[in-house]
Structure 1
Amino acid sequence: METHFHAQLDKMRLKVLEMAAYTQKAIEDACKALLERDGDLAQKVIDNDMQINLLECEIDDMSLRLLALDQPLAVDLRSIVGIMRVSVNLERVGDEAVNIAEKAMFLSTRPPLPFGGQLKELSDVALEMFRASIMAFREGDPDLARDICRWDSQCNALDVMVIKDLVNYMSKEAPAVERAVSTVLTSRSLERVGDLSTNIAEAVVFIVEGVSIKHRICR
C-alpha cells in the first residue's frame, strides 16, 4: 500500500512539473509577445491556456484520490497539500499570461509607448522568479525558495516605478490614456507573477520542512 501510495505521489509531482512546463512557456511567450509587439504569438498563448487548466483538473483528481483512498500519514499529507498549492498557483500564473497576452494584442496594433525598457526589466525579474520557483520545487530546495521570497520586493518596486511613470505620462499625454492603462494592467500582471512565484516557493518550504512562512519574513 505504501509503495503504491508513493508511486502515485511521484506521478502527481511529475504531472505538476508537466503543468509547470506549459505555464513557463505561456508566461515566456506572453512577455515576448508584449515586448516584440507580436499579436500572433499573443493569440497562441490565449488559445493554449486550456491545456494548463486541464492539467490542474487532473492534479486535483489525483490528489483527492490519494486523500480519500490512502489516508496518508502527516508527512505525506503535507506533500499532497503543498503540491496542490503549487498547482493552484501555476494555474494563476497561466491566467496572468493570458491577461498579458490580451494586452499585448491590443498594444501591438497601436503606436508604442516609451516604457518598453522598464517593462522588460520587470518581466525579466518576474520570469526569473518563476523559473527559480519551479527549480526549487523540482529539486526540493528550501534555500532557493527562501531566496525567491526575498526577490519579491524588487519585483514590487519595479511595478510601482512603472505605474508612477505611466500615471505621470497620462497626465501629459491624454490621447495615450487607453494604451497607458493597458500597460499599467500589464505591469500589475507581471508583479502578480512575482507574487505567485513567491507562493510556489512558500509551498516548497512547507513540503520540505513542514514550516509555513506565508505570513512572516522569509528566513
Structure 2
Amino acid sequence: MEQRAHFTKRMEELKVQVLRMASMAETAAQNAIKGLLENNCDLAEEVIMNDIKINELECDLDKFNIELLALGQPMARDLRFIVGAMRITSNLERIGDEAVNLAHRTVFLSTRPPLPYNQMLEQMSDVSKDMISRSVKSFADEDVALASQVCGMDNEADSLNIRILKELITNMVSETRLVERGVHSIMASNHLERIADQATNIAESVIFIVQGENVKHDCRG
C-alpha cells in the first residue's frame, strides 16, 4: 500500500512538471509570435535565450519517466499516462524549437523595412496560440472533447499556411525587392503551422491517455 501511495505521488508530480514545461513552451510561442507581429527584436532574443530552460526540463522529464517505468511497473491507464507524457514533452520541446526559429526570423526582419500588414499571418498566429492553449488545457483537465477540438483546428492552420504562401509568392513576383523578406515571412508562417501540428500531437496524446485510443494521423480529418 505504501509503495502504491508513493507511485501515485510520483505520477501527480509528473503531471505537474509536464504542465510546468507546457507553460514555458506556451510562453515561448506567445512571445515569439508577439515579437514577429510587433517587429520586436528584444523579445525575440529573449525567446532564443530562454530555450535552454525548456531543453533542460525535457531531459529531466525523460529521466523521471524512465524511472517511473522501471521502478513502478505501471499497467493500463498509468502506463498510458507515462507514455503519453513522454510524447507530450517531446512535442513541447519542439514547440520551443519552433518558437526559437520564429524568433530568428524576427531578428532578421527587424533589420529590414517592414512588409505590408498581413492579416492572414496574424490570423495564423491566433490559431496557433489558441491550439496550444486548448491542447494544454485538455491535458490538464484530461478533456477528450477539447482535445478533439484541437485536432479539428489543424486543417484551418494548414489552409491558412497555404494561403499565406500563395499571397507572398504573388507579392514577390510583382515586386522583386520584397523577395528576401517574403521568403523569411513564408518560413515564419511554416513555423506557426508546425507549432499547430505539435499542439495537435499533444491533443492526440490526451485522447490516447484517457481513452486508450490511438488516433494519430486520423483525428486531423
Coarse TM-score class (shorter-chain normalised): over 0.9
Alignment of 1:68-79 (within 5 A): 68-79=70-81
CA RMSD of aligned residues (A): 1.1
CA distance in 2, matches of 1:44, 1:148: 28
**2:32–2:102 Cα contact (<8 Å) kept:** yes
Shift of 1:165: 0.5
Check 1:100–1:218 CA distance in 2 against 1; reply closer, same or farther (3 A cut). closer
The aligned length equals 219
Identity %: 45
Q: Which runs of 5+ in 1 are unaligned?
A: none
Alignment of 1:55-74 (within 5 A): 55-74=57-76
Pick aligned residue for 1:43 from 42, 45, 56: 45
Report the counterpart of residue 194 of structure 1 in structure 2. Answer: 196
Pick aligned residue for 1:104 from 103, 106, 110: 106
CA distance in 2, matches of 1:30, 1:126: 12
Pick aligned residue for 1:120 from 119, 122, 130: 122
Matched residue SS, 2:153: helix
Which letter maps to 2:45?
Answer: Q
What is the TM-score with the length of structure 1 in the denominator? 0.97
Report the counterpart of residue 10 of structure 2 in structure 1. Answer: 8
What is the TM-score with the length of structure 2 in the denominator? 0.96
Query: Which runs of 4 or more aligned residues in structure 1 lie more than 3 Å from their structure 2 counterparts after TM superposition?
Result: none
Report the counterpart of residue 215 of structure 2 in structure 1. Answer: 213
Alignment of 1:75-86 (within 5 A): 75-86=77-88
CA distance in 2, matches of 1:215, 1:187: 22
Q: What's the CA shift string for 1:136-183, capped at 9, x where partnerless?
A: 000000010001100111111111000001111111111221111100
**2:154–2:220 Cα contact (<8 Å) kept:** no
